[in-house]
Amino acid sequence: MSGEKPPVEICKGVNGLDKVVLREVRGSSAEMYLYGGHVTSWRNDHGEELLFLSTKAIFKPPKAIRGGIPICFPQFGSHGNLDQHGFARNRFWSIDANPPPFPTVSTNKAFTDLIFKPSEEDLKIWPHSYEFRLRITLGPGGDLMLTSRIRNIDTKPFSFTFAYHTYLSVSDISEVRIEGLETLDYLDNLKAKERFTEQGDAITFEAEVDKIYLGTPTKIAIIDHEKKRTFVLRKDGLPDAVVWNPWEKAKSIADLGDDEYKHMLCVEPAAVEKAITLKPGEEWKGRLELSAVPSSYRSGQLDPQRVLQG
Ligand code: BG6
């Protein structure tokens, strides 16, 4: 056993912030910061980074870390009176030493449980009591799984919107396509949230995109032609999916390099159109599972159907 790194390690990251490192025996790994309950790294067993993290990311409150998987809660975007994307992404979370059990018991050792509870200050801006538990697991095949459990411990109901703001690392945004969202309705953030219906085949990119797809399937494929890699995103409890790439607008985002938009794509499992309402004592669960698989070719063409149905 000597020399072998543990499956879960708590250590210091950028600016001395606490982070948790998960390692799976075959070599894949993930890292998350207690600041924001924020996954910042997910590597496959070749050590290749699969999430985008800006070289200009600021690891310092009150700014959320640019890249990885910020948690948008209790508000997605500007859909409410709170600051953009709520405040869970720029609060300090804790290790949850005693999480309530999950219905299915796993023998997997590479996981950690985080918890976020509102402070007195948080209660002033959003006056609802809750416990937000986040389990992050690295599966035996290197899959990354995030499960959020939000429990109302208040005496009144409350409603919230939510997103796993997932920044995927891509070789070249112009060479990427998304399968699973074609023909769906979406709200266009670039057109005052007006509702449209997607036309045509897969989603490709040649300009800024900021859309909230509604009633999306539980499985979405993001195909990176150049890397010959497909991300398969599975989700539960999250009917919507936000797709964002700022393109030239990256120049106006201080913590994003001017050209970095070429190497990122946000596909964000979300609950936006219909807020989630929890009565006192109720719990909501929202799940994201990411895997990265080699793209399959047939007659020189990618075959996303096999990915989506497989
Ligand atoms: C996306 C939104 O989820 O996040 C975009 O749809 C927004 O409208 C983007 O610009 C980034 O937000 P922020 O607050 O992290 O800069």
User: Ligand 1 pocket, 210 CB below 6 A?
Assistant: yes
Q: 220 pLDDT exceeds 90?
A: yes
Q: Tell how far the Cα of 88 is from the centroid of ligand 1, in angstroms.
A: 15
- Catalytic residue check, 120: no
User: Ligand 1 pocket, 268 CB below 6 A?
Assistant: yes
From the list 24, 31, 179, 268, the catalytic residue is 268
Which of 32, 104, 96 minimizes the C-alpha distance to 69?
A: 32
pTM summary value: 0.95
Q: Exposed e or buried b for every residue in 102-135, given b needs 16+ CB within 10 A? A: eeeeeeeebbbbbbbebeeebeeebebebbbbbb
Would strands 219-224 and 240-245 be described as parallel, antiparallel, or unpaired? unpaired
Contacts for 293 with CB less than 8 Å, ≥ 6 apart: 229, 230, 232, 307
CA distance 42 to 21: 10
Q: 309 pLDDT exceeds 70?
A: no
Mean pLDDT of 282-300: 83
pLDDT band for 298, please (50, 70, 90 cuts): very low
Residue with tokens 């509604």: 214
Give residue-wise pLDDT tens across range 248-281. 999 999 999 999 999 999 999 999 999 999 999 9
191: exposed, middle or buried (C-beta count within 10 Å: 0-12, 13-18, 19+)? exposed
CA distance 253 to 139: 34
User: Ligand 1 pocket, 77 CB below 6 A?
Assistant: yes
Q: Tell how far the Cα of 85 is from the centroid of ligand 1, in angstroms.
A: 8
User: DSSP for 40-57?
Assistant: EEEE-TT--B-B-B-TT-
Is 131 in contact with 115 (CB distance < 8 Å)? yes
Q: Which of 72, 75, 252, 266 to mutate to test the pocket of ligand 1 (most atoms within 8 A of CB)?
A: 266
Mean pLDDT of 274-293: 98
- Catalytic residue check, 225: no
User: Ligand 1 pocket, 189 CB below 6 A?
Assistant: yes
User: Ligand 1 pocket, 113 CB below 6 A?
Assistant: no
Mean pLDDT of 150-160: 98
Dihedral Cα 230, 235, 238, 242, nearest 10 deg: -10
Give residue-wise pLDDT tens across range 171-216. 999 999 999 999 999 999 999 999 999 997 889 999 999 999 999 9
